[in-house]
Amino acid sequence: MSRAPWTPDRAWARVPPSRLIGLKGVLTDIDDTLTCDGVIQPAALQALHALHQAGLPVIAITGRPAGWSEPFALSWPVRAIVAENGGVMLRRQATGELLHEFAQAAPERDRNLARLRACAQAVLQEVPGAVLARDSAGRLTDIAIDHSEFAHLAPAQIDQVVAVMRSHGLTATVSSIHVNGWIGEHSKWTAAHWAVQVLGDPAFDPAQWLYVGDSTNDQLMFERMPLSVAVANVARFWDELRVKPTFVTERERGEGFAEVAASLLACR
């Protein structure tokens, strides 16, 4: 029998209830944390509704583009989705309309656009087999190369994509499906501060929130959030993680997220 790549003391089932009492809400990744093959799993959607009904807000932070995120920002019971790794925040208004807010002013975004396009072309030319993510048409502040959603890149090719992006001055991270690149200092960490403050908490205290993720692009959150959780499919990236999550769920993807929600709700 194969052993889990994490030690037993990281099992989410062993989290002390005292660590969950008093939390203000949940920050979460989307792909392969709430979803499977790009579709939210029923257990995860039910968990989002239960957390909402209990008064525990959920903010999703994703590398997915604004265009892809729009229908979910409108239909899921989340307070906001911060897309493109902190580049743009989508919030459903009381009127039912969707508000888009950006981490960078319009002139800066316009200046960056030419550099992003040039970098994307360089990646396609220099890395054999590289293709743009199919959701690229909805991207406003970054670029994405598909490595595992519809295409497949070997680890060496993924490393090469990251190297080309960084040679063009981009920040580059690897999610469970894409390599994302952008210009600027924003990240999932700055997105958490931004969203929590915009939604009414003037002083974001990481100790009062929980983060759920699944891959290497969640490491900044695993490092800086005192209470971080990875769903079980993090096993795919475990050996690559420089920073490990505090806990790991028993189940994968959306069912793992539902585990986390159940524990939080049991402490309310």
CATH of domain 106-182: 3.90.1070
What Rg value do the Cα atoms of the chain yield, rounded?
18
Q: Among candidates 16, 6, 20, which has minimal Cα distance to 265?
A: 20
pLDDT for position 250: 97
List b or e across 137-152, with b for residues whose CB sees 16 or more CB atoms inside 10 angstroms.
Answer: ebbebbbbbbbbbebe
List the chain domain ranges. Answer: 20-96+188-266, 106-182
pLDDT for position 4: 66
pLDDT for position 268: 83
Contact indicator for 24, 200 with CB cutoff of 8 Å: no
Structurally, at CATH architecture level, domain 20-96+188-266 sits in: 3-Layer(aba) Sandwich (3.40)
pLDDT tens by residue, 26-74:
999 999 999 999 999 999 999 999 999 999 999 999 999 999 999 999 9
Q: Name the pTM for this structure.
A: 0.95
Residues of the chain with pLDDT under 50: 1-2
The H or E element that residue 27 is part of is: strand 25-28
Rounded-to-integer distance, Cα 33 and Cα 66, Å: 18
Rounded-to-integer distance, Cα 217 and Cα 221, Å: 9
